[in-house]
Amino acid sequence: MSFSTTEVDDPTLTQQSSALSLDDHIIYTWLGVTVTCNVSNSHKLSCKLKGKPVVKKTLLRDVYGEARPGELLAIMGSSGAGKTTLLNCLTFRSDRKLDVSGFMMINGLPVTSRSLTSICGYVQQVDLFIGTLTVKESLIFHAMLRMEKGMPFEKRVARTEEVMRELNLKKCENTVVGIPGKLKGISGGEMKRLAFAAEMLTDPPILFCDEPTSGLDSFMAQNVVSVMKEMARKGKTVISTIHQPSSQVYGMFDKVLFMAEGKVAYLGSQALAGTFFKNFGAMCPSHHNPADYYVNLLAVAPGKEEQCRRKISTICEAFSNSQVAMELRDIGKRDKMYNEAYQVMKKISKYRAKWYSQFVAVFWRSWISVLKDPTALKAKLIQTIIVALIVGLVYFQQNMDQDGVMNINGAIFVSLANMTFQNMFAVIHVFCGELPIFMREHTNGMYRTDVYFIAKVLAELPMFLTLSTMYTIIVYYMIGFNSQLERMLGAVVVMVLVGNISTALGYFISCACASISVALSLAPPIVIPFLLFGGFFLNTGSIPNYLSWFQYLSWFKYGNEAMMINQWKGVKNIACTKVGTTCPKNGMVILKTLNFDEGLSSCCS
């Protein structure tokens, strides 16, 4: 069959094209979307040295498209065709290393990332939830942060119940989500329905889905697409990328957008796609999956690259010259009237909940996570008790003599070091492990960064206060420190403060590192310098002048000095049982020997 690249006999495209009218629903249009990879400086230098021109790789080239309310649109294509890149552009989530041009419109008006986030739902390919929470608790958390401000809590819970019934999640509402390899939870299909439920709570007018059927069997995949189809039936605009759908699943989509080599090959009804591709001598055989056939038609086969690219270029150019494509391009050239609904939408804040409401919700979830992770809680408790008993037995009941002074001083510094490493390594995985969840929820406008950090720290604070206090009390009486009650309470305060500082350092390292392995590798070399300047391994009076400033950054110095003063201040007599060795006669001599600050000694007396 012969054809022209500028004019194709395609009545289906003419039938599908229509004037784009504004109504109460969302018409989402994207115009001239082009994505290129930014070239690194090293690559630029390499090309310059070789005398070659610097060429940017183009991922998307002048892509136009439209999704209308009541329609389920599938974005399809072979690997590398650009479907995921396009979806990232449509949701304003493209990698910062990419250069994106073109613009998106809602009901004929340019849309921003913030305004889109406030009205859309996004079901991503990987489902991320806190594994220790139940299905119902997870949805209540989303309802607290994503539903309209001022809505009573009872209505949020009622909406949660309604969504669970719609998606058949009531039977597993009290089952924990689960952690792969650690905590058994809900099934893969239930997890995907939970992801849809979290997005449906706000009844968004537009929904994006990134390969929602990946990893599911054909039956579960059909159920998931049925959920999307039902949302479209209710007047929602639903856009989804999908990979290798079955023929049954493919038939459930109203419209399909086939991508090839970063360009649009076809956009229209899936039922009429065959008529379009028939113009190029490509007729899908009977009893053959149309999705597989068209994706293979638009793929670049190994060994036939040039031939395949010519075919793809011809198909894409033919669609570019079709009436549908020309109408879409004309949208950007026409002035559009502003409607009141969009004017209100533009003023919506990225965050639906107020600062305090965000804090309450995140603190509630973090607190439940701590309480529902008994394994970690028991492990920390057992670890604290065992280490305290070991230290207490090694330094058990010291006497007030020369040996006792040295041993007590050593026990104090060992306790400070243990408190630092124990608390730091206990939290160093927190933000690394939850970083993907935080990034997704923060991007979705659920809560601010400061809210997450403060709530997370405060939720775990009682546990660390308890562990620090428990360790100090056990060690204090086993070793035989100063027996006065106020001295014991003073030691508890100092150890708790040191524990909080080390916990904060652990949080800092966790935030700064992208992975747990990197955080664990960086933590020891960061702590060691502070440890050396703590006043035990190196007398503070003998530190070189050019390094003396560093001691004032070390919490070991302040903790060690405070503990020493708390122990030795007011001790009038120390027994000198060994002849020929230096013997401090009282506590003040010990403090002066260690070169501790006399002003601090006076205030602690």
User: What are the chain's domains?
Assistant: 11-21+67-96+106-119+204-346 (3.40.50), 355-603 (no CATH)
At 573, the pLDDT band (50, 70, 90 cuts) reads: confident
Task: Please name the residue ranges forming H helices in 35-92.
Answer: 41-50, 83-90
The residue count of the chain comes to 605
What is the DSSP code string of 447-500? --HHHHHHHHHHHHHHHHHHHHHHHHHHHHHHHT----HHHHHHHHHHHHHHHH
In the predicted model, what is the mean pLDDT of residues 548-563?
90
pLDDT of residue 331: 67
Please give the Cα distance from 15 to 565 (Å, whole number). 88
pLDDT of residue 255: 93
Q: Answer whether residue 22 shows pLDDT above 50.
A: no
pLDDT of residue 44: 63
pLDDT of residue 595: 77
In the predicted model, what is the mean pLDDT of residues 292-318?
86
Please give the Cα distance from 357 to 143 (Å, whole number). 11
Q: Tell me if the pTM is above 0.85.
A: no
72 bridge partner residues: 238
**Ordered strands of the 206-210 beta sheet:** 120-123, 206-210, 237-241, 72-76, 255-260, 263-269
Kindly report, residue by residue over 501-532, the tens digit of the pLDDT.
999 899 889 888 878 888 889 999 999 999 98
DSSP state, residue 350: S
Nearest Cα to Cα of residue 416 among 322, 527, 517, 526: 527
pLDDT of residue 348: 55
pLDDT of residue 534: 86
Pick the more confident residue, 604 or 290. Answer: 290
pLDDT of residue 588: 86
pLDDT of residue 452: 92
Kindly report, residue by residue over 204-220, the tens digit of the pLDDT.
899 999 988 887 888 88
pLDDT of residue 475: 95
- Are 332 and 32 a contacting pair, CB within 8 Å? yes
Q: Answer whether residue 332 shows pLDDT above 60.
A: no
Tell me what the pLDDT averaged over the chain comes to: 83
Burial 406-416 (b: 16+ CB within 10 A, else e): ebbbebbbbbb
Pick the more confident residue, 140 or 353. Answer: 140
At 341, the pLDDT band (50, 70, 90 cuts) reads: very low
Nearest Cα to Cα of residue 453 among 445, 461, 463, 465: 461
267 bridge partner residues: 257
Kindly report, residue by residue over 428-482, the tens digit of the pLDDT.
887 777 888 998 898 888 899 999 989 988 998 898 899 999 999 999 999 999 8
- Dihedral sign, Cα of residue 95, residue 100, residue 104, residue 110: positive
At 415, the pLDDT band (50, 70, 90 cuts) reads: very high
CA distances for 7 relative to 103, 269, 306, 317, angstroms: 27, 20, 23, 10
pLDDT of residue 361: 94
In the predicted model, what is the mean pLDDT of residues 135-153?
91
Q: Answer whether residue 485 shows pLDDT above 70.
A: yes
CA distances for 222 relative to 21, 213, 214, 466, angstroms: 32, 8, 12, 50
Please give the Cα distance from 298 to 459 (Å, whole number). 53
pLDDT of residue 602: 44
pLDDT of residue 155: 92
Kindly report, residue by residue over 152-192, the tens digit of the pLDDT.
999 999 999 999 998 889 999 999 998 888 888 998 889 99
User: How buried is residue 104: exposed, middle or buried, by Cβ count under 10 Å (0-12/13-18/19+)?
Assistant: buried
Kindly report, residue by residue over 228-274, the tens digit of the pLDDT.
998 899 899 999 999 888 889 988 999 999 998 889 999 988 888 88
Provide the residue type at 426 as one letter: A
268 bridge partner residues: 256
- Dihedral sign, Cα of residue 171, residue 175, residue 179, residue 182: negative
Q: Answer whether residue 311 shows pLDDT above 60.
A: yes
pLDDT of residue 37: 83
In the predicted model, what is the mean pLDDT of residues 585-600?
75
- Dihedral sign, Cα of residue 91, residue 92, residue 96, residue 97: positive
Only one residue has tokens 């305060």, namely 493
pLDDT of residue 47: 67
At 389, the pLDDT band (50, 70, 90 cuts) reads: very high
pLDDT of residue 55: 66
- Are 286 and 103 a contacting pair, CB within 8 Å? no
Provide the residue type at 516 as one letter: I
Q: Which of 324-328, 413-417, 564-568, 569-573 has the lowest mean pLDDT?
A: 324-328
Kindly report, residue by residue over 57-114, the tens digit of the pLDDT.
888 988 888 999 999 999 998 888 888 889 999 998 888 778 888 888 888 888 888 8
- Are 244 and 291 a contacting pair, CB within 8 Å? yes
